[in-house]
Amino acid sequence: MKKIFISVGEISGDNYASQLIKFLPHYSWTGITGPKMRQAGCETVQRLEEISVVGIMEAIPKYFSG
């Protein structure tokens, strides 16, 4: 089985990627995932919710936390 790594940075990417995963079920999917991608069966390396930021005030604490 071929493996594909897919990474999204925000919710609309999660929506599109989950549809792609459902359309191509014969591949093994791994990536930075949102909730819809996980529901579609993608293995998670990092959760989108843990790294997604809007603006500098959200970015600074996440930069120093990991």
The residue type of 17 is: A
- Please state, in angstroms and rounded to a whole number, the distance separating the CA atoms of residues 30 and 50: 16
Provide the β-strand partners of residue 33: 47
On whether the pTM is more than 0.85, the answer is: no
pLDDT for the residue numbered 66: 62
pLDDT for the residue numbered 51: 82
Give Cβ neighbours of residue 36 (< 8 Å, ≥ 6 apart). Answer: 14, 15, 17, 18
Tokens 């790294």, located at residue: 51
Confidence check: pLDDT of 63 > 90: no
Q: Is 41 left (phi over 0), alpha (psi -120 to 50) or beta?
A: left
> Which tens digits make up the pLDDT trace of 20-57?
999 999 999 999 999 999 999 999 999 999 887 777 77
